[in-house]
């Protein structure tokens, strides 16, 4: 009788291992990916990519700060530091890369 119980337990253990292998595959290795490159700063008088209006507001967004077009969450935003542009006509929002500093001093 004990040998039948041992055989049944061995069978169940092998069956459970097969089920676990199918239902719990190893998760794929995650690789750190760089955020997508942003388009360069288009200047003070830029053209809206949606309605072609000339003019947009510019707002600096720190890394992990939510933008105007994102729902606020308790966690940080996945976007990095960027310039958030908003069209003055249609309120379309897009991101651009930071404007690199000029080589020399600027005078008004």
Q: How far apart are CA 16 and CA 57, in angstroms?
A: 61
Mean pLDDT of 51-67: 91
Pick the more confident residue, 29 or 96. 96
**pTM for this one?**
0.58
- The count of C-alpha atoms lying within 13 angstroms of the C-alpha of 39, restricted to the half-sphere facing its C-beta, is 8
Confidence at residue 92, expressed as pLDDT on a 0 to 100 scale: 95
Hey, where are the domains in the chain?
39-102
The CATH code belonging to domain 39-102 is 2.20.25
Pick the more confident residue, 85 or 35. 85
């Amino acid at each position: 009788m004990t040998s039948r119980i041992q055989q049944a337990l061995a069978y169940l253990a092998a069956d459970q291992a097969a089920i676990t292998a199918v239902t719990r595959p190893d998760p794929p290795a995650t690789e750190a990916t760089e955020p997508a490159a942003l388009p360069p700063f288009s200047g003070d008088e830029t053209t809206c990519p949606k309605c072609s209006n000339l003019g947009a507001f510019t707002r600096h967004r720190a890394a992990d700060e939510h933008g105007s077009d994102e729902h606020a969450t308790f966690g940080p935003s996945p976007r990095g530091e960027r310039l958030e542009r908003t069209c003055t006509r249609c309120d379309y929002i897009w991101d651009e890369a930071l404007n690199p500093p000029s080589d020399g001093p600027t005078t008004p």
